[in-house]
Amino acid sequence: MAEKNILVVEDSPTNLRLIKELLEDNGYHILTAIDGEEALSKAVDEHPHLIVLDVILPKKNGFQVCRQLKTSPSTQDIKIVMLTSKTQDSDRFWGLKQGADEYMTKPFTDDELLTNVKKLL
């Protein structure tokens, strides 16, 4: 199986490291971005198979990034898992409405994240 590229977009260095290490330990190649604009440019340049996307980000929030990626023909096929501390039903609804393929809330378990990543890839 070819190595799958995953872009992790997270502005918390601790969360970024945890997610990156978890996915790398499971055989994925990880790219990272720490704000919405960097996420968009890396998504376009690198075309990852999947994006793990925080919602609360500098420059552009995850909802905006997701909507922009999902409405652009060149990136609309990239799978997106929103991973956020926003736990309201309305947040989940809005995230999925923007095109997210999965919506997860923090704190999360390793198994939860890996299950969703495997399901989408």
pTM, full prediction: 0.97
Q: Which domains does the chain have, with CATH numbers?
A: 5-120 (3.40.50.2300)
**CA dist., res. 98 & res. 95, Å (int):** 5
**Among all chains, which residue has been given the structure tokens 């260095």?**
13
The span from the CA of 2 to the CA of 37, in Å, is: 28
Residue 31's pLDDT is 98
pLDDT at 1: 46
Q: Which residue has the tokens 């601790």?
A: 14
Query: What whole-number distance in Å separates Cα of residue 39 and Cα of residue 43?
Result: 6
Residues in the chain predicted with pLDDT less than 50, given as ranges, are 1
Query: Can you say whether the dihedral through the CA atoms of 111, 4, 66, 54 is positive or negative?
Result: positive
